[in-house]
Structures are given as C-alpha cells and as structure tokens.
Structure 1
Amino acid sequence: MTTPHPAPTPGAPPALEARNLVKDFRGFRATNDVTLGIREGEIHAIIGPNGAGKTTLFNLLSGFLTPTSGEVRLFGERIDTLAPHAVVRRGLSRSFQISSVFPTMTVRDNVLVALQSPTRLPGQFWSRLSALDALGERADRILADVGLGSAHARLAADLSHGEKRQLEIGISLTQEPRVLLLDEPTSGMGSEGIARVTGLVRQVAQGRTVVLVEHNMSVVAELADRITVLQYGAVLASGAYDDVRRDPRVIEAYLGDEAQL
C-alpha cells in the first residue's frame, strides 16, 4: 500500500467534493445522496459491485451528467452546472472505461489534437500545419512520460489494449489537470499491462490528485491512500484501505468473501 499523503491544510477545501449527489433516470436512482471529499494530493479509489453507481458518479463529478440534486465542487468552486469542457478548464480531466482514442491517427497526432483544444488553432482551419510545431515538444514530453515515446509514429489502432490506456492517460495530461479521474484504468489487462499502468498511475499522481474506479483490488491496495465503497448508488463506507476492508458491511457487499478485498 502507498504511504498516505500529508493531511490537508486546515480550512482548505477538498480538491474534489460531492455534496448529497442524487441522479435519477426515469424513476431509477443511480446515485443516492452521495457525499464525499477527496483530499488534494491523494490517490482515492471508488469501488463497489457491478451496478453500484461508480460510473454514474464519475460522470457527475466530471460534468458529463447533471445531478438531479446536490452539487460538485472543485477546490471549493461549484462545477456541476458547467459543461465538460469548462470543467476541464477548471483543472479536472478524465479517462473513460471504453477506449476513446482516434484509431486512424498516429499516437503523436492524438496528443497534438488534445494539446490544440485550449488554443485558437481548432477554429483557425486556415492556419499552416507548421503552427503545430510549437506543440510538438510538449507532445513528445508527454509521450515519454507515459512510456510511448518510441511509439509516436504508430497508428493508435495498432496499440495494445494497455498501450491505448497509456495514450488515454497522456491525452488527459495535455490539459495539465490538478485532478485526474481514471475509469477502470487496468480493465481487461494481463499482469504485465496491469503492472505497467499501475506504475504509470503512481507516476502521474506526483503533484496532483487522482481518483480512480477500479475492480482489481490488488491495484487498489497498492495505489490508494483512501477508498470509498458504493452499493446501490450510496456510500457504504469510506476511509483507509485496511480499515474499510475489515468493515462487515463491505465484506457482505463483496459476497462475503474477504479474500476479494
């Protein structure tokens, strides 16, 4: 398990905070009065059985869904009324459970496209291609950081599943987020890919806050400072990994098998 980060400065707002979040879909309550505070600089895992509301919560935190009631705050600023791109501008980026790269573009071009988004280049279709040169150094640095420097000229479609995850994290880093949300970063990977992405998550967490949804409890145990357990859309337990894994309610939620935790 990772060494917990220092306690936050007294009086400082959480890096990311959910207050009494409710999301209803035609009578079905996907999240039910979810309240949690994620400290600046920590790695915080959100776990729970299938259908617990984890992805819905991620979509609420990142602006892809508007809550039925409740609010989301980023460093004290309310963001649940903002569009996703405005949330990104405030310092929060995310990856998705399903791969979201451009398969017919090169690895480097995927990163370059993301780097353009906060600039004027996307709206200036008449600009020379050389206008991208200024972004090239940053793209190369990001690819090196996520372990894809030597793969810059490959098509994204030709990457392995694990490499696509690395690229998605790199794309998220183009926006220089203070808070990074990762949805199932090791899903579908073998042991080698899991080890590589786990190391990458630990690396990118230096100097920022990371929140991840993850089913692999070995990954959670290795990375997370704290965890929140969801069940039926509500918070079942929250705290340090060793404390939460011994909670009888959490053990029962995982079919009574403490070994899963």
Structure 2
Amino acid sequence: MARAAKKTADRKTADRKTAAPKAKPSDNRDRIVDALMDLAAEQDFGDITLSMIAERAGLSLADFRDCFPSKGAVLAAFNRRIDRVVLDGATADMADETTKERLFDVLMRRFDALAPYKAAVESIAAWARREPLAAAQLNRIVVNSMRFMLEAAGVDTEGPVGALKLQGLALAWARLVNVWLADEDPGMAATMAELDRTLRRGDMLVARAEDVDRLTSPLRSLARGVFSVGLRFVGDRRARRQEATEASANDA
C-alpha cells in the first residue's frame, strides 16, 4: 500500500510526458483506423458510415473491404494498436512490484496511450451507452484487451477464476473510462484514485472467488467422475441392446 501510494503521488507531482504523436500510417489498415478515429472525434460514432471512413482514408470502398469487414472490426484494430503501445512499454523494473502495482502501471499506460484519441473515445462510449448490441460488441473487444493487460501484469487468466477476472476488469474498465473522460486534470488525479479503489475492491473479490474455486474443485472432480461413469454405463447398455437386437435378427 505504501509503495502504491508513493507511486500515485509521484505520478501526480511529476511532469507528465507528452503523449506520443500519432504514427504516420504505414498501410491501408492504419489509414482506415486513423480515419475512423478522426471522424469519431468530430461527430456521433453511430452516424459514421463505411463510405465516410473510406473517403477520409483516401481509399475506395473496395480497398476498405479488403482490409476490414465492418466498422466494429476497425474499432477492434484500434484497440489492438493501443494494446501494442501498452505492451511495448512494459519494463523489467516492474518485476519487484506487487500484482496490484503492476496492473495499476499497465492500465495507467493504457490511459496515456488513449490520450490523443480522447474525443473519439468519448464518442464511442456515448454510442455504446445508447446501443445494447454495440455495448456487447465493445465488451468482447475490451475483454480481449484486458487478457493482455492482465498478462502483462503477471496475472493468471486461465480457468473459471481467470474468466471472472477478465470480465470483471472489462466492466471496471468501462467505468474507469467514464471517470477518465470527465477528468480534466493533466495529472489524472481522479482517474488514478478511482483506479486504485477499483483494484483494491478487485483484489478482495478475486480472493473470494479463488477460495470458492479451491473449495469446489473436489466437488467438480467428483461430478466429472460420476458423469464419466454414467456415460460409460449408458454406452455399455446401448452396446448390449444392439448386440441383442442383432442376435434376434440372425435367429429369425
């Protein structure tokens, strides 16, 4: 806790590095992603069409189709771009930090990477709040990203508890993004405070889930064993019935 508090204080008081400028597009896919985010910063995300994105990217609709099947796929590509920036920023000095501190660093780096696109993210978030199907699609994209964020922090995401961590962090991230969007402080004090509270709550929930998983693991093993025996029993009965039917047919 002391180290986390110090890191938070250091981050508040230190001059924040200027967000890296957007990379010059290297191919059509990058141009399309940039075009979508530029348009999202200017207007309602739900009003953006594929033709508008292609035109802004300086490409034909056919070129767009060669790169992406939908607007949602472009959004997923943008998310992967942010993932790459965050993962590239991982450093060896995180090794001696606690899991909570590492995840705090990883998610704050994600906010840093998103900073140049804040207006676009606000448009996307508003779209997801209005459209349940859009929210579900966005959730799938975020879950995939959170898998790598947790992995970068050294958090296991396998098994039932891992699935709980992934979905829990994805939902928490949606709330954190709303805090970040409203946070006008260049040091992101409100965002960091909410992230710290979220991770502390998450630690407690995960600990409880892991306890439940350990307690129920023997029961699951027993259930699988009983189910397996049951399947073999049913299979044997069917085989004997089939043999009896064939024997009766031969006698006839």
TM-score by length of 1: 0.30
Choose between structure 1 and 2 for higher RCO, CA contacts under 8 A separated by at least 6 residues.
Answer: 1
More strand by share: 1
Q: Normalization by structure 2: what TM-score?
A: 0.31
Rg bigger for which structure?
2
Structure ranking higher in helix proportion:
2
